[in-house]
């Protein structure tokens, strides 16, 4: 990320809501810096957010792009625990790991960590999640603090690292199972034909090679 993109990213409220059309705030900042996105695509930042980006980029202020959403107050998600079925879909959707729980058990929202991104709402199959306004009449950047934005950025980054680590750990587990099967393929297979066994061995070895190559690229 270049210096201009870093300054733009620092001026965003870090909800990671994707309403700007990009997967996270950093991606939107880079797109603005590259001239690929407008400075008016961040509803959580509102009019003040547009003004901040205009000052940084030197571009003229524009009204918020309503196709991305409208300026509003800061909200937090609230789960109706009587209706929650423990599907974990909201946990997977939350960009800041603000929802805790396990499969088939009630989930709950850790309010200080919730950015009000709304990404948990559409994935809930029983519509047991609602939004609660916590900033009163204040909207846009007036509803946020710099500390909240910093925390949102840090928790999102921490989640991305965790997901990457878990992906590698899962790949290592799968590779270990495949290697174990290869060590005695006849014992682990119902196939008795030698030619068929060799074909299966070649398939597993190729899959292992692809997995290791992906992991090497990730590590690099």
Residue 10: CATH number of its domain = 1.10.15.40
Among 111, 142, 173, which residue terminates a domain? 142
Last residue of a domain, one of 87, 116, 142: 142
For residue 185, being part of any structural domain is answered with: yes
Residue 62 inside a domain? The answer is no
Buried/exposed 81-119: b ≥16 CB within 10 Å, e otherwise: eeebeebbbbbebbbbebbebeeeeebebeeebbbbbbb
Cα angle 172-93-127, degrees, rounded to a multiple of 5: 140
Q: Are residues 40 and 94 in the same domain?
A: no
Which range of residues forms the domain containing residue 41?
Answer: 3-57
Q: In the chain, which stretches have pLDDT less than 70?
A: 186, 188, 215, 218-220
Domain assignment of residue 154, yes or no: no
Total structural domains in the chain? Answer: 3
Pair (45, 10) in one structural domain: yes
Residue 149 lies in a domain: no
**Is residue 39 assigned to a domain?**
yes
Judgement on whether residues 29 and 86 belong to the same structural domain of the protein: no
Beta bridge partners of residue 99, listed in sequence order: 109
Please tell me the predicted confidence (pLDDT) of residue 14: 97
Same domain, 37 and 79: no
pLDDT attached to residue 3: 97
Q: Quick one: how far is CA 20 from the chain centroid?
A: 14
Of the residues 113, 142, 171, the one at which a domain ends: 142
Q: Is residue 115 part of a domain?
A: yes
């Amino acid at each position: 990320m270049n210096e201009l993109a870093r300054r733009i990213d620092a001026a965003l409220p870090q909800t990671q809501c994707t309403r700007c059309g990009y997967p996270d705030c950093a991606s939107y900042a880079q797109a603005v810096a590259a001239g690929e996105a407008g400075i008016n695509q961040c509803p959580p930042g509102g009019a003040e957010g547009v003004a901040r980006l205009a000052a940084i980029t030197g571009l003229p202020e524009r009204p918020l792009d309503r196709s991305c959403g409208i300026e509003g107050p800061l909200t937090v998600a609230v789960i109706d625990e009587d209706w929650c079925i423990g599907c974990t879909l909201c946990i997977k959707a939350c960009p800041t790991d603000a929802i805790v729980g396990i499969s088939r058990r009630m989930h709950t929202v850790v309010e200080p960590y919730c950015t009000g991104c709304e990404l948990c709402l559409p994935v809930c199959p029983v519509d047991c999640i609602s939004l609660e306004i916590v900033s009163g009449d204040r909207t846009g950047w007036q509803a946020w603090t710099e500390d909240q934005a910093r925390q949102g950025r840090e928790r999102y980054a921490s989640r991305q690292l965790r997901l990457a680590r878990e992906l590698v750990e899962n790949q290592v587990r799968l590779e270990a199972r495949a290697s174990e099967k290869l060590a005695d393929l006849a014992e682990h297979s119902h196939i008795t034909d030698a030619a068929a066994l060799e074909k299966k061995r070649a398939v597993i070895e190729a899959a292992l090679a692809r997995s290791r190559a992906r992991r090497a690229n990730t590590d690099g």
